[in-house]
Amino acid sequence: MLGNVVVGVSSFMLRARLFFNLALFQFATLSGLQFFTTAVNGLKTVVTAIGAGIAVWGVINLLEGYGNDNPGAKSQGIKQLMAGGGVVIIAQTVIPQMSSLFSAG
Q: Render pLDDT for 33-90 as a digit per residue (tens, 0 to 9).
A: 777 788 888 899 999 999 999 999 999 999 989 888 889 889 999 999 999 999 999 9
Q: How far apart are CA 52 and CA 92, in angstroms?
A: 12
Give backbone dihedrals phi and psi of 90, rounded to 5 degrees, phi first.
-65, -40
> Is this structure's pTM higher than 0.75?
no
Q: Is the pLDDT of residue 18 over 70?
A: no
Cβ–Cβ under 8 Å, residues 23 and 42: yes
